[in-house]
Amino acid sequence: METLKSSTLQLRQLTKKYNNFEAVRDLDLNVPSGSLLTLLGPSGCGKSTVLRMIAGFLNVTSGEILVDGKDISRVEPNFRDIGMVFQNYALFPHMTVESNVAFGLKMRGVAKHEQAERVRDALAMVQMTHLADRYPSQLSGGQQQRVALARAVVIKPKLLLLDEPLGALDRHLREGLQSELRDLQRQLGITSILVTHDQDEALYLSDYIAVMNGGCIEQLDTPIALYDRPQTEFVARFLGVPNIFASTVVASSSSEVTVSLGGQNIIVPTDTGKTVGSSCKISVRPSHIEVARSEDPRQGVTAVIKSAHELGERIVYHCEVADLKIEANAPRISSSERFAVGQSVKLVLDPAHTVLLRD
């Protein structure tokens, strides 16, 4: 299938209110042409509301939805030209796979022979040609997902919306389909919005991830930046960072702050100046903490090992500094030094991945 002419999407001051409850508040977002942006967040954060407003199933309270610069927020859903893969796929149960895929073309009055050709191509693209005559109830979950995808892209939409597209599948199947979905999206070059609560899925598929909380975007970043340097406590917790420490600023300069961690000072690079004495929060992933001998000369925190577990590829250490609990991981390879429970060690925090969280 040829590459689609891809569009840009901009959300401006997008707001959705239910009575007094603001499900989405003043949301601004730019999705560059051809990229896949994920709205990630827990249920109730407003991500589905945003998606349904883009699709046209929810009225916008205020704000604009610009596709290629044109506001579509008042356009009926059937005139928006946006493809969507629904949660649970929403295939038409009374139509064959082929008729499902052809439906959008039929609505657009595409000529019969062209319809047949495009349906054939779309089914070939998702490797479903051999099941064209089946009904949705005769398909497995993964097969239904492919049909839903074919049905959404066959109309050559300006945007592709993916609402938890892999949520109903079991883990094994999901991983296979993730890579297919990603390849297909890249190959078609179609601007896409994915909604999910699964961070692994988001990290794997996305060009950009917007983490949402309470109707707002908490952080918009590339997957790697988001994983390594979550900017707020909410994002850090949502992405499963166990080490989030409350601390106080001991010294501050234009490029770094010194904070106290269990009574010991640590330097954290940051460009947001902080007043000395103010409280702050620090986040660092266990894999960014090196467990070293206590006599190691590098800057670090001296701690006592409380437990050590060898888990698959990692060795997980739970350590204590004063009343602070710190988790650190080391690769479980033969060259790694093993530390025993009760041993005093130095925890070396990688400065590039130690983050002073925004308030």
Partner 1 sequence: MAKTSDRSKYLISPALLIASFIVVAYGYFALTSFFPKGPPGTQFVGTPTLDNYWRVLGSGSNQAVLFSTLGASFLISLITIAVAVPMAMVIVRAKREWVGNLIMLAIAVTFLSGGVTRAYSWLILLGNRGLINLGLTNSGIVDAPIRFLYNWSGVGISITHYLLPFAVFTLIGAVRNLNPSVEEAARSLGASRTTTFWRITMPMLLPGLMVTLVLVYSIALASFLFPMLLGGGKVRMIANQIYDRMFVEYDIPYAAATAVVFLVSAFASIWLISFVAKKIEKAVS
Partner 2 sequence: MFRRDLEGRFGITVSLLAAVATVFLLLPVLFVVLHSFSPTRYFQWPPQGFSLEWHLNFYSSSMFMDAAKNSFLMALIVTPLSLVIGIPASYALVRSSFKGKAVIQQIILSPLIIPGVVTGVSLLSLLSAAGMNIGLFGLCLGMLVFALPFAIRALSANLLGLDPRIEEAARNLGAGPFRTFFAIVLPQLKSGILAASVFVFVEALDNFSIAVFLSNDSTKVLPVAAYQYIKDFDDPTVAAMATALIVMSIILVAFLEKVMGFQKSLRL
Q: Which residues bind partner 1 (CB under 8 A)?
A: 56-59, 76-77
CA-to-CA distance for 325 and 346, rounded, in angstroms? 14
The least CB distance from residue 340 to partner 2, in Å, is: 52
| Angle subtended by helix axes 97-107 and 141-153, to nearest 10 | 20
How many whole angstroms separate alpha carbon 235 and alpha carbon 213? 9
**Exactly one of 60, 91, 184, 305 binds partner 2 (CB under 8 A); which one?**
91
Three-class SS state of 54:
helix
Taking CB under 8 A as the criterion, the residue among 59, 62, 107, 322 binding partner 2 is: 107
Cα–Cα distance measured from residue 300 to residue 264, given in angstroms and rounded to the nearest whole number: 8
CB atoms within 10 A of CB 156: 18
- Decide: is 57 part of the binding site for partner 2 (CB under 8 A): yes
> If contact means CB under 5 to 8 A according to the sort of partner, which of partner 2, partner 1, none does residue 59 touch?
partner 1
CB 80 within 8 A of CB 68: no
* C-beta closer to partner 2: residue 82 or 303: 82
CA dist 92 and 101 (Å) reads: 10
Q: Does 96 bind partner 2 (CB under 8 A)?
A: no
Draw the binding track, 154-173, toward partner 2 (x: CB under 8 A; -: no contact): -x------------------
Q: Minimum CB separation from partner 1 for residue 57, in Å?
A: 5
In the complex, the smallest distance separating the C-beta of residue 123 from partner 2, rounded to whole angstroms, is 16
Residue pointed to by tokens 């597209």: 165
Which range binds partner 2 by CB under 8 A, 90-98, 124-132, 291-299, 349-357? 90-98
Burial (CB count <10 Å: 0-12, 13-18, 19+), residue 255: exposed
The rounded distance, in Å, linking the Cα atoms of 85 and 145 is 8
**Interface pick for partner 2 out of 23, 84, 330, 349 (rule CB under 8 A):** 84
**Of 75 and 132, CB closest to partner 1:** 75
Shortest Å, Cβ 225 to partner 1: 36
Residue 55 touching partner 2 (CB under 8 A): yes
Tokens 């994983």: give the residue: 227
The piece of 16-24, 59-67, 147-155, 327-335 that touches partner 2 (CB under 8 A) is 147-155
